[in-house]
Structure 1
Amino acid sequence: MNFLDGLNAKQAQAVEHIDGALLLLAGAGSGKTKTLISRLAYLIGAVGIDPASILCLTFTNKASSEMRERATLLLQNQGIHSPTSPLLCTFHKFGLLFLKRYISCLGRENNFVLLDGDDCKKIIKGFESKIATSTILSAISHYKNSTLSACEVLQNVSDSEERKIAKVYEAYQNYLERNNLVDFDDLLYLSYLIMEQNPSIAQSLSKKYSYIMVDEYQDTNPLQYKILRFLTCTHQNLCVVGDDDQSIYGWRGADIRNILEFTQDFPDAKMIKLEQNYRSTPEILRVANALIEKNSQRLGKVLEPMLESGREVEVCSYESDREEMQAISKKIIHLHKSGVKYEDIAILYRLNGMAKGVEDGLLRAKIPYKMIGTLRFYERAEVKDVISYLRLMVNLNDDFSLLRVLNRPKRGFGKTSEEKLLHGANGRKIREFFENERECKECIGEKNYKTLSEFFALIAELNNALAHSFEKFEDTFTQKIDILSSYPIAEKEERRLNLKELFASLKEELNANKELQEYLNDLSLSSESDKEVSNSVSCMSVHLSKGLEFDYVFVIGCENGFFPLMGDGGDIEEERRLGYVAFTRARRELNLSYVHTRYYRGKASSLPPSRFLYEANLLEDSQEIFTTGAEVMGAGAMVRHKIFGVGRVLEATGKGKEMKVRVSFGGNERVILASFLELL
């Protein structure tokens, strides 16, 4: 029986490690899943470990299912059939199984109910706090994953808002206990409390699971770490697999120190590095290695390419985000015509807010696509509401759109009134029925008739405003129609920004001499053609791309301020790890792009190219970083500043990000950082 077939030397070494702690530091594309599965099968089939004494913890159900299927197949191929099985599950599934057996230690019954996210929101709203529900739930989740009780939080609050949140946390937890409910975080938090208060239970479990494996260890948080310490209190047979260079979830509680300090937590631990990469070309790995080596918080490894050479990583600059997507769309069309499947192509972005520009570009180019992890822009409720108003401006007989927004925002025209209206119309168009004033009033009443009359007058007013100017139309719309009034306060800002994006897009199309009806028709056609997206370009944030791979990857928005995204409390090392993840999603070709002006969240931003492009040795850190084409922003060049207007460069000093330019704006001389100027 040979469980080592197809493994390289380091992978085989990891598989054959039996007793004692093991850190398997697995680089991107290094075959870590194959290694983990082979080790699991090896322990059972070659060493003779009882499968029931093996616990393997993952972060997703998909990962645990895949590991279970592949390990079973590997054992079956070796002719091994065991009456027992290892426990392969997520951390939270383990917590659920644990609580079913031990929650009585907290004086509670094991017939508890697990709440979903909406249930938790309803409970929090019942406490009528002025703080946003989402903020409170996020804080409670953070406290539980940091193993902090409401009492402990209350003893250490630093301001009045934190105290208010802590009081809600206390009331919320009391409510759950009284009603024998648990939320998602309780699955681990309560399990931790039970093991902390009952060391004998932790010891019993540790003896039961004498071999423990953990996947994606770099993503563990303080609570998961403490549970693992309990589970290994009687032995050190813990094998963790992860990549410190792909630790990108610090914002949701993951603690990179868990993997960085593993050999300190387990002094006799062995560390094996998987550095042979079977995914990407040498050209892609060269830039990924160059970028990530700039981090100081890492154990250190260099990905070694096992594939043949391919194309150099391409970096492109464009004047605007629209031009960026036009160019990328042309490249995708060319790739598709040459035989590449759309499903082998991905577009990645740092911020979900960039998805709108990507979506618009692919729509214009009629390229099938799917948005992963976010609702397609034109399918968002508030966007569909505005589009319904626009459709009515073109066609008052569009009853589908009329019924969607007649009472949105609320005008007192509820479901009962709507049913009377449809019954009275009896198959006629609502507009036609409305024009028969006497019949319509008898059917729906004077008040509702007046509401309907005012609604049609509003549509006419919007059309008149648009005929005058787009600015007048937008002002009229926002003043007369409060679309966001029906949404929770916590959601309003995000939805407001979405509407701002929609109006900006509409303005751009109308300014390009496109009729409103043509704009709406294009949206309708695209939505119909996009229903079948099995063979489509994948569009997603870099965070969601982790664990995936594509032959061709386009990473947009490579500008300082967008990628890396740096604000208050920003972590440049985690941003750099995100860049590393983005680069290593590509198998054959990697394309990176930045623009001189990006329209985002309703305003234009002019930012310099991402520092990552220099750190990965893709751009030279020289004056050329502030050029358009091959021209250098030197003396005599004409430039534009968003406040001071057009001027002429008199002198340029320094280089790279520190380059300063002395400019004459109509005789007024100013010294300005080059990154704030646009070359004309």
Structure 2
Amino acid sequence: MDVQAVLDGLDPEQRAVAEAVRGPVCVLAGAGTGKTRAITHRIAHAILTGHVTPQRVLAVTFTVRAAGEMRSRLRTLGAPGVQARTFHAAALRQLLYFWPRVVGGEPPAIIDSKIRLVADAAAACRLSFGRTELREIAGEIEWAKVTQHRPEDYADAAARTARRTSVDVAHVAGVYTLYEQLRRERNLLDFEGMLELTAAVLTEHPEVAHQVREQYRYFVVDEFQDVNPLQRMLLSTWLGDRDDLCVVGDPNQTIFSFTGATPSYLLDFSRDFPAAKIVKLVRDYRSTPQVVALANGVIGQARGAAAQRHRLELVAQRADGPAPQFTEYADEVAEAEDVARRARALIDQGVPAREIAVLFRINAQSQTYEAAFAQAGVPYVLRGAERFFERPEVRQAVVQLRGAARAGADADTDGTGLILTVRHVLSGVGFSDTPPEGSGPTRARWESLAALAQLAEDMAADHPGATLPDFVAELEERAAAQHAPPLEGVTLASLHAAKGLEWDAVFLVGVVEGTLPIIYAESPEQVEEERRLLYVGVTRARAHLHLSWAVARSPGGGRRRNPSRFLDGLTSKTSTPTPGRAPRAARRTAKGPQPCRVCGRPLTAAVEQKLGRCEDCPAELNEDVLLALKDWRAGISAEQRVPAYVVFTDATLQAIAERAPETLEDLAQIPGVGKRKLDRYGPEVLTLCTS
């Protein structure tokens, strides 16, 4: 690709970024404004004009998927060979390369999860914690390390920054101390230690720093609003006294402050680099004017001097679409059921299921929607579940495609040949043009193979001369980057997990005070981060956007909840009764919420109602019965060709194992066991419970 072709098609602001081939450059890029396009074209333009060679470029981002996407775009632009990596991948590569020279001996093993080591450290402190508390302590240790607080400093730092934890800060500090001691004794290195040690090696060994700085002379950092102090320290070490740095970010999408990330490095970039060129990208190519107007309304109410000084007001570039909808429901069950119905209606209107998402504030909200979508027969994908390229059918398909590529299976290079060849190979592992009936394991396997077939069609459309070896190389690149093709199901995801993604239709659910903003967001800074979280959710939608809340958590519960303060002034209509649901809820009002069978507290969360107790309350659990129930469920699931959760959810099985019902009447009292399931499965379940 020639230089002019790289610049063609860019809007004036994107072109300004691409032509600013020397740093320092700060790009303030709003949602949907093409920031990845701008920075990849900038790198390609700098390479094609001879300002830098590909081997001298280090592009850093936060996810393996984003790094893989950047490398793929750069190859298309004629700039292969650029190092696009996450902070951790770049640091680890340097650390392992220089380890024999500066340290010697066996390099430490990298741990990808702290939980086991935290558990060992807690045991050494004579403390006993459940898995939830262990995860919380691990998160606190990560925060302390990225913000450069040692164990002896943790308690003061936590108090100063108003950290909230259910574990006593003294206990966290004690576990943190033992964690570090055990890590060193076992020659282990966590992700934070990896960054810190790499920076230390460069600082303490000038010859190493010189070699790294000679290798990498051109730096680009994406999502700069999410940089934490430890990452900023490593970046400064890489740079030395140079300023050939381009950073890209959106202060309106700062949603990871709880992990130690801070937008201050982005907002104060011109103070750190007075000669910096600042470019704002505000033309939104993703969303309709109606969605953009709501996004601007949400973020336009942000408080604080920094928010106002760096506010990015998006300008829609797409044609008009439907107005965002706002709906109030009697309870969360009604909300989930109606969202499932609306999703089904969109699918019937031609919107692919993979182009629909339901986004919520906390992961615990997903269970209600899983049940509602299963009941409605709407396929869904829970983001964060099994990795696509680790599925057996996908691994088998890739092996077959790789073998066909080596055998020279496709001589035709007009695009059609690639599509037909891929479909032919996939047919050998179970793919057909017509999907199987039902929604069980067979359908799930077909969906995986269909995603590969669709990927081949997309590649043929974008690159008509693509061959089967090209397609296999693309699959291997995607597998390494965990960049899965979209599956045919509605996405259920948390707002944090949705960042960086987009869909044709988005349902923002649970937009209620106490959930968004979350109840423990007390300081003005914490509340503003919750506002930005809603903004991220709104800007995920291309055309269809639905925001909803429930005035009661559960059917029959007190109707005391209010829509989020973030919606104030953005809609004049904040109540749309749900047909058929309000009268049913009213009939249950006198009954009130179910009490915990251990402590008596009213139960409001769906999972607690199924268990019949608070999640934190102790309960007797027959592990053998639970395992037997799960094995039985797996058999029924395979026999009926439906997902396991359609038979009974995990929470319902756990409740059954805890309560040990002896009669059908006992079993019927457990939430999740309705009359239909009682008639169909009741006798078998009782046999398992009493055997």
Tell me the secondary structure at the aligned position of residue 75 of structure 1.
coil
Tell me the secondary structure at the aligned position of residue 512 of structure 2.
coil
Shift of 1:286: 0.3
2:22 paired with 1:25:
no
Indicate how the Cα distance of structure 1 residues 292 and 105 shifts in structure 2: closer, same or farther if over 3 A, else same. farther
2:517, 2:545 → 1: CA distance?
18
Indicate how the Cα distance of structure 1 residues 375 and 58 shifts in structure 2: closer, same or farther if over 3 A, else same. closer
2:273, 2:235 → 1: CA distance?
12
1:536, 1:323 → 2: CA distance?
21
Matches within 5 A, 1:179-578: 179-198=186-205, 201-202=208-209, 204-295=211-302, 296=304, 297-298=306-307, 299-373=310-384, 531=444, 534-567=487-520, 569=522, 571-578=526-533
2:533, 2:121 → 1: CA distance?
34
* Alignment-derived partner of residue 89 in structure 2: 93
Aligned length: 477
Shift of 1:356: 1.4
Query: In the alignment, which of 545, 548, 557 is matched to residue 593 of structure 1?
Result: 548
* Alignment-derived partner of residue 124 in structure 1: 121
User: Deviations along 1:569-622, whole A, 9 cap, x unmatched?
Assistant: 45111111111111111111111112221239x97663111112225x2237xx
User: Deviations along 1:227-264, whole A, 9 cap, x unmatched?
Assistant: 11222222111101111111111111111212111111
* Partner amino acid, structure 2, of 1:590: L
* Alignment-derived partner of residue 44 in structure 2: 41
Matches within 5 A, 1:37-186: 37-75=40-78, 85-103=81-99, 107=103, 109=105, 111-117=107-113, 119-121=116-118, 123-125=120-122, 127-130=124-127, 132=129, 133-150=134-151, 153=154, 161-186=168-193
* Partner amino acid, structure 1, of 2:268: E
Shift of 1:108: 5.8
Shift of 1:112: 2.2
Shift of 1:267: 1.6
* Partner amino acid, structure 2, of 1:139: E
Quick check: 2:366–2:492 contact (8 Å CA) kept in 1?
yes
Tell me the secondary structure at the aligned position of residue 535 of structure 1.
coil
Shift of 1:69: 1.9
2:154, 2:182 → 1: CA distance?
18
Quick check: 1:203–1:230 contact (8 Å CA) kept in 2?
no
CA RMSD of aligned residues (A): 3.4
* Structure 2 unaligned blocks of 5 or more: 161-166, 388-437, 448-486, 579-585, 594-691
Quick check: 2:251–2:267 contact (8 Å CA) kept in 1?
yes
Indicate how the Cα distance of structure 1 residues 559 and 170 shifts in structure 2: closer, same or farther if over 3 A, else same. closer
What is the TM-score normalised by the length of structure 1?
A: 0.64
Structure number with greater Rg is: 1
Indicate how the Cα distance of structure 1 residues 275 and 138 shifts in structure 2: closer, same or farther if over 3 A, else same. same
2:176, 2:520 → 1: CA distance?
28
Higher strand share: 1
* Alignment-derived partner of residue 583 in structure 1: 538
1:628, 1:537 → 2: CA distance?
25
**Higher mean displacement: 186-195 or 197-206:** 197-206
Tell me the secondary structure at the aligned position of residue 538 of structure 1.
strand
2:522, 2:101 → 1: CA distance?
40
Tell me the secondary structure at the aligned position of residue 193 of structure 1.
helix
Quick check: 2:557–2:589 contact (8 Å CA) kept in 1?
no
Indicate how the Cα distance of structure 1 residues 155 and 369 shifts in structure 2: closer, same or farther if over 3 A, else same. closer
Quick check: 2:56–2:217 contact (8 Å CA) kept in 1?
yes
1:102, 1:73 → 2: CA distance?
32
Shift of 1:325: 2.4
2:572 paired with 1:619:
yes
Tell me the secondary structure at the aligned position of residue 324 of structure 1.
helix
User: Deviations along 1:190-244, whole A, 9 cap, x unmatched?
Assistant: 2233344456644553343221000111111111111112222221111011111
Indicate how the Cα distance of structure 1 residues 103 and 119 shifts in structure 2: closer, same or farther if over 3 A, else same. farther
Shift of 1:70: 1.5
User: Deviations along 1:102-135, whole A, 9 cap, x unmatched?
Assistant: 4568856353211231553464355244163334
Matches within 5 A, 1:636-647: none
2:365, 2:220 → 1: CA distance?
38
Indicate how the Cα distance of structure 1 residues 258 and 131 shifts in structure 2: closer, same or farther if over 3 A, else same. farther
User: Deviations along 1:39-95, whole A, 9 cap, x unmatched?
Assistant: 11111112341222211111111111121122122117xxxxx7xx33221100111
